[in-house]
């Protein structure tokens, strides 16, 4: 039986102080595996702008929160960060969250959880960033910005910044159970 030993970084605590290191780990592994697509979650765009600076020569997709996520008609991604990301040649994806949307409206209105939020809570047992990595890969696949079945790297965080990076094979949301997390490159040990 063959083995593959891959280094995983476990951060002592979650948070934005891990962002630079997480992006460096993602870049190193992308180079080792000749992966050209990297997905990065970014709310206000700080992490996305940092990723664009470091990862500008990759097919970089920065996934923002949907408009209205916190307040109707409000987009949290700042115009300054949007410009920095786009000037570096990265793509910004803003769309409905794969583990949110109409089901979240049902929870808010009727007080009951539905399948997508149960999946989200299950993925969070591995950390908030792990849930977001899976989610942004579904969103990018549904938008046609990542090739289904081709390994890519997804980067996300706990709250702000980035502290989680994985190699995965993305799928469309309706094929969720075919998603494969191939490698965990970095995550917080405790969150």
- Identify the CATH number of the domain in which residue 97 sits: 3.40.1380.20
Parent domain of 133? 20-66+74-188
**CA–CA distance from 10 to each of 7, 14, 27, 41 (Å)?**
10, 9, 17, 19
**Is residue 181 assigned to a domain?**
yes
pLDDT value of position 114: 84
**Mean pLDDT, rounded, of the chain:** 94
**Is residue 1 assigned to a domain?**
no
Q: Average of pLDDT values for 102-116?
A: 83
* CA–CA separation, 6 and 31 (whole Å): 14
pLDDT value of position 191: 61
pTM score of the predicted model: 0.94
Total count of domains within the chain: 1
**Is residue 157 assigned to a domain?**
yes
More confident residue, 156 or 116: 156
Range name among 17-21, 26-30, 102-106 with the lowest pLDDT average: 102-106
């Amino acid at each position: 039986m063959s083995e593959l030993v891959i280094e995983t970084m476990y951060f002592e605590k979650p948070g934005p102080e891990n962002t630079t290191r997480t992006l460096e780990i993602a870049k190193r592994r992308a180079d080792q595996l000749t992966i050209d697509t990297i997905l990065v979650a970014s709310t206000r765009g700080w992490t996305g702008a940092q990723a664009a600076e470091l990862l500008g020569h990759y097919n970089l997709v920065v996934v923002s929160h949907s408009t209205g996520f916190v307040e109707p008609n409000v987009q949290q991604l700042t115009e300054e960060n949007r410009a920095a990301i786009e000037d570096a040649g990265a793509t910004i994806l803003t769309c409905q969250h794969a583990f949110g949307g109409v089901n979240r409206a049902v929870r808010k209105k009727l007080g009951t959880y539905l399948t997508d939020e149960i999946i989200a809570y299950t993925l969070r047992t591995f950390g908030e960033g792990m849930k977001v990595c899976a989610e942004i890969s579904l969103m990018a696949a549904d938008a046609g910005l990542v090739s289904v079945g081709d390994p890519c790297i997804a980067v996300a965080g706990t709250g702000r910044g980035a502290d989680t990076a994985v190699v995965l094979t993305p799928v469309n949301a309706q094929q969720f159970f075919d998603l494969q997390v191939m490698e965990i490159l970095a995550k917080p040990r405790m969150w």
